[in-house]
Each structure stands twice: as C-alpha cells, then as structure tokens.
Structure 1
Amino acid sequence: MHELPLVFFTVFTQCAVGAFILLLIGGALRQIEARRMAIGLFAAMCLFGLGVVIGIFHVGQPARALNMLFRVGASPMSNEIALSAVFGVLGGLSALGLLLKRGTSTLFVSLAWLAAAVGVVFVLAIPRIYQLPTVATWSSHYTTTIMVLTPFIGGGALAAFFGARRVGLWVSIIAILASFCLLPGYLSTITNADSALASAQTTWFTVQGVLLAVGLICAMAYARRNSGQPVLATAVLVIVAAELAGRVAFYNLWTLPM
C-alpha cells in the first residue's frame, strides 16, 4: 500500500514521543536512575528518527520534502513536519547531552522537558491532517482518539522496557483497556460511514485486537510477578505490532465520494 511509510512514521514517532515523555516523568518520580533514563531517551529518539526517515519515502520526491515547510501555520501537514523537526532537534540534543554527560545535566533535562512539550503538540497535530469532511470514515473524533492513544499504548510499553517500569506499564495497560472500550463505538462509526470498506478491514482489526490482548497479558504478568525481561520485550513487540496493524486498517479506510 502507498501509505505504508505513513503507517510506520505515525506509529514510530508517536510511540517515541510517548516513551520520551514517560521516561522523563519516571525520572522526576525517581522510578528510574539518571543513566538508564539517558539511554532510554536516546533510544526513543533513535526510534523517532527511524520513523521520520521512513515517512519521507511517502513523498513522491523525498528531496522536495522541505517544500512542505513553506505553509507552516496554514497547512496541518506542514505543521506536523515542522513540529517533528523541532522535537527531533530538541529531543536529540537533550538525549545526546545526557548520554554523553556534556555540560550540566540540569541544562539538558530542561531541554528535554521543552522537547516533551513540543512532542505533545506534535502528537495532537497529526490527527488534524486526517479530519477531512470528504473522507467519511476519518471525519470523526475517533480519528483523534485512536492516534492520541498510541503514545500511551506503545510509548508506555517502550518506557517500561527502557526502565520506567511502573509508570510505563500502567499507562500502557490502562490505555489498552481504554482502546478496547472505544473499539465498538469506533467500528460502529466507520461501518455507518462505509460498511463495505469497514468490513474489508476486519482482518486488520482482528489482528490488532489479538496482539493487544497478548501484549496486555504479558504486561500484566510482568507487572504482577516481575516475570523477566523476555516477557516485557514480548509485550513491547506485540503492542507496537498491534498499533501498526490498526494503523494499516486506518489508512485503508481512505475513500472519496464519487
């Protein structure tokens, strides 16, 4: 599918922003030691960078991607690109500074919190691109809701894996449960908008639901019994895979009235 780069771009960047913010919160709550937080922040920024690089391939001519910045403030897509660039710079510098212990840690922690603020705006900017009245299956509050949940679902799991276990795990678990609660309403909305197109995504939604359920079981098993890093790693992999499957279904819902 032509939108596959966007699937990876949106999921990877949203999960990375969520992990980045939750790692900072875990650090502030003293749930993770400074060195491990620095490694986690850097890893989150690497994932963010990977998502951005993959996303560029959605552009017909990647070399012209910077042309989209000319409409910042007027175009939701231009705003998304600009915010991703700002977050990438601020988050990358702060994570690298903390990792290499350059200068005072207070400076880079402050820079990281500034990046986190930009990251929140970036996450909220993404679904605005898809609030198109001409695409009935996208034009609902569920578009914003499912995309805003991704940083909590995937980002929480990643933050737990990187060391902020308590805050990351429970944020992810609660967000997954919220996703399950919202799913019937979401499916009803897109079915009413275009029943044939919605039915065609049954397999993708089923895969997402099964993977989220497996991830939830693994996350809860780890939270209750501290059953080991392999269980937590499995939870992360299946949860991120679930969000990718759900995002494929979302982009497959693209349709224009004839």
Structure 2
Amino acid sequence: MHELPLVFFTVFTQCAVGAFILLLIAGALKQIASRQMAVGLFAAMCLFGLGVVVGIFHVGQPLRAMNMLFRVGASPMSNEIALSAVFGVLGGLGALGLLLNRGASTLYITLTWLAAVVGVLFVLAIPRIYQLPTVATWSSHYTTAIMVLTPFIGGGALAAFFGAWRTGLWVCSLAILASFCLLPGYLSTITNADSALASAQTTWFTAQGVLLAAGLICAMAYARRKSGQSVLATAVLVIVAAELAGRVAFYNLWTLPM
C-alpha cells in the first residue's frame, strides 16, 4: 500500500500531540509529578519524531521534501509540514530541557505550552488536506471528525500510560465512545459515495471496532484498580493498532470519478 507511510505518520504524530497536550494539562492540575511529566513529554516527542521519519518515505524523493514548504499559507500540505516542524522544535527543546532539569524550567514550560498551541493547529491542518471535492469518500465532515478524535483516543491512552492516568483514561474512553457514535453515520456516508469501495473496507473497520472495544475494556479494568501496568500497556497497544486499522481503511477509500 503506497499510503502506508502516511498511515503511520498521521496516527503516530496525532497520538503524540494528544499525549503531549494531555500531559501538560495533567501537570498543571497536579495530577502527575513533574519528573514523570517530563519523561512522558520526551517520550511523546520521540513518537512524534518517529512518525515524521516514517512519513518522509511517502515522498518520492525525500531529499526534496523541503520544497513542499514553499507554499506555506496557500497549501494545506505545506501548512501541515511547517506546523509539524515548529511543533517538533518547540516541543523537543521544551521536553528535553525539562528532562535534563538543567534550570530555566519556566522557559522550558513556556516552550512546551507554545508547542501545545502549535500542536492543535497541526492536528486541525491534517484533515484539511483530504477535503477534496473530487474524492467523494473523503469530502465530508466525518474526515475531520475521525482525524480529530485520534489525538484524544490514542493520545489519551498514551498520556495514561505515561502517568496522567486519570485525565488520559477519561479523555480516551469518551473519545472511543464518540467514535462508536459517529461510525454509523460515517459508514452510511462513504457507502453512499462508493458502495463497492466502502464494502471492501469492512474487515478494516471491523478490526478497528473490535480493537477499540478491547482497549476500552482494558482501560476500564485498570481504572478500577483490578489490574496492573501490563493491562494499561496492552490497552495502549490495541488502541493505537485500532487507529492504524481505521486509517488504513481511510486511505483505501481513495477514489476518483471516471
């Protein structure tokens, strides 16, 4: 699948941004220790960097990827790339500074919050790329909805694993429920646009639903203190896998009218 690098790029970066922001919020609410938050922020930035590196492989000639920055402000893709770069720099410097704990904590906290603002803009910029009138299966508000939910679903699970379990699990659980509520309307929309193509994604959508349900069960089991960290880790893995499955289905919906 030619779009597979984009599957990992969008899911990993969106989950990382979601986790980054939720960890900051949990830190501000004193729900997580400063050191634990710093470790979590740095881990989220590592995941973000991994997503960006994988995404580069979608470019035909990676060494020319910088050329796509020439249309910042006019091209949604250029905006996405520019915002990812700014988030990476601000978030990376802020998280690394807090992790190393070399002083100037106010500066590093400021950088992380600036990164959070840029991260929100980055998350909102991604679905704009796919609002194409020529691709009927993408051209709907559901495209924005499912992509905006990913930072809450995957990011919430990751934030919980990194220590902000109360905030992370609540956000993740509510987002999964919202995803289930949106699914019937989404499937109806893409079926009306191209029934054959939508039907071909049944396996992927089923896998996403099953994995999300399993992840939700694991998350709730951990929240009720009936299980240990391994259950939470399992929840994170299956939830991120669910978002990857759903994103594969999304990219498989690419179609052009003949």
TM-score range, shorter chain: over 0.9
SS of 1:97's equivalent in the other structure is helix
Stretches of structure 2 that go unaligned for 5 or more consecutive residues are none
SS of 1:38's equivalent in the other structure is helix
- Where does residue 87 of structure 2 map in the other structure? 87
Q: Could you tell me how far apart the structure 1 residues matched to 2:243 and 2:124 are?
A: 17
Structure 1 residues 35-71: Cα deviation after superposition (integer angstroms, max 9, x where no partner): 0000000000000000000000000000000000000
Q: CA RMSD in A?
A: 0.5
- Where does residue 175 of structure 1 map in the other structure? 175
SS of 1:126's equivalent in the other structure is helix
- Where does residue 154 of structure 1 map in the other structure? 154
Give the counterpart letter for 1:13 in structure 2.
Answer: T
Cα displacement (A) at 1:106: 1.2
Q: Could you tell me how far apart the structure 2 residues matched to 1:255 and 1:12 are?
A: 25
- Where does residue 256 of structure 2 map in the other structure? 256
Question: Is 1:143 aligned with 2:143?
Answer: yes
Structure 1 residues 53-100: Cα deviation after superposition (integer angstroms, max 9, x where no partner): 000000000000000000000100000000000000000000000000
- Where does residue 115 of structure 2 map in the other structure? 115
Q: Could you tell me how far apart the structure 1 residues matched to 2:9 and 2:108 are?
A: 26
Q: Could you tell me how far apart the structure 2 residues matched to 1:186 and 1:53 are?
A: 30
- Where does residue 45 of structure 2 map in the other structure? 45
Cα displacement (A) at 1:225: 2.2
Q: How does 1:25-44 map to 2 (within 5 A)?
A: 25-44=25-44
TM-score by length of 1: 0.99
Q: Could you tell me how far apart the structure 2 residues matched to 1:177 and 1:226 are?
A: 22
- Where does residue 244 of structure 1 map in the other structure? 244
Structure 1 residues 205-238: Cα deviation after superposition (integer angstroms, max 9, x where no partner): 0000000000000001111125110000000000
Give the counterpart letter for 1:84 in structure 2.
Answer: S
Q: Could you tell me how far apart the structure 1 residues matched to 2:33 and 2:106 are?
A: 15
- Where does residue 208 of structure 2 map in the other structure? 208
Give the counterpart letter for 2:170 in structure 1.
Answer: W
Question: Is 1:125 aligned with 2:143?
Answer: no
TM-score by length of 2: 0.99
Q: Could you tell me how far apart the structure 2 residues matched to 1:155 and 1:209 are?
A: 18
Cα displacement (A) at 1:105: 1.0
The size of the alignment, in residue pairs, is 258
Q: Could you tell me how far apart the structure 2 residues matched to 1:87 and 1:73 are?
A: 17
Structure 1 residues 121-161: Cα deviation after superposition (integer angstroms, max 9, x where no partner): 00000000000000000000000000000000000000000
SS of 2:224's equivalent in the other structure is helix
- Where does residue 77 of structure 2 map in the other structure? 77
- Where does residue 20 of structure 2 map in the other structure? 20
- Where does residue 66 of structure 2 map in the other structure? 66
Q: Could you tell me how far apart the structure 2 residues matched to 1:155 and 1:102 are?
A: 28
Runs of 4+ displaced beyond 3 Å: none
Give the counterpart letter for 2:121 in structure 1.
Answer: V
Q: Could you tell me how far apart the structure 2 residues matched to 1:40 and 1:245 are?
A: 25
SS of 1:20's equivalent in the other structure is helix
- Where does residue 163 of structure 1 map in the other structure? 163
Q: Could you tell me how far apart the structure 1 residues matched to 2:62 and 2:101 are?
A: 35
Cα displacement (A) at 1:245: 0.2
- Where does residue 219 of structure 2 map in the other structure? 219
Q: Could you tell me how far apart the structure 2 residues matched to 1:151 and 1:231 are?
A: 21
